[in-house]
């Protein structure tokens, strides 16, 4: 029983990062050795050349990146950028594609 409680406590500690707690850093704020890379978001999959998520605003895109980073246990994002596009199928409205690197900062 004690083992189950300890394991449950350990699992809960991993899930304590909330999307709003994920800080977005500018590249000049941190040097390479000052953080651990968790995952590059939206660029490391074979699907990327064919589809990436798009959002109605850059703010929505960054919020989605923060949500994904928090789910991965990261507490920061770096090298974040969003590109607006009035593509062929956007019918006049602009959509945004955002990417970044989920990181852990001690």
Domain boundaries, the chain: 18-104
**How many other C-beta atoms lie within 10 A of the C-beta of residue 77?**
24
Q: What is the DSSP letter of 55?
A: B
pLDDT tens, 5-47? 344 444 444 558 999 999 999 999 999 899 999 999 987 667 6
Give me the pLDDT at residue 68, please: 95
Euclidean distance between CA atoms 92 and 106, whole angstroms: 44
More confident residue, 49 or 3: 49
Mean pLDDT, the chain, as a whole number?
A: 82
Superfamily assignment of 18-104 in CATH? Hypothetical protein apc22750. Chain B (3.30.110.70)
Q: What is the pTM of this model?
A: 0.76
């Amino acid at each position: 029983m004690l083992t189950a409680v300890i394991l449950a406590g350990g699992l809960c500690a991993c899930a304590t990062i909330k999307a709003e707690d994920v800080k977005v850093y500018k590249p000049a704020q941190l040097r390479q050795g000052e953080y651990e890379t968790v995952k590059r978001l939206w660029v490391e999959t074979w699907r990327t050349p064919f589809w990436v998520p798009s959002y109605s605003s850059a703010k929505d895109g960054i919020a989605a990146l923060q949500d994904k980073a928090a789910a991965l246990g990261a507490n920061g994002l770096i090298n974040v950028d969003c590109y607006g596009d009035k593509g062929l199928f956007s019918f006049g409205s602009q959509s945004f594609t955002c990417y970044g690197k989920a990181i852990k900062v001690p």
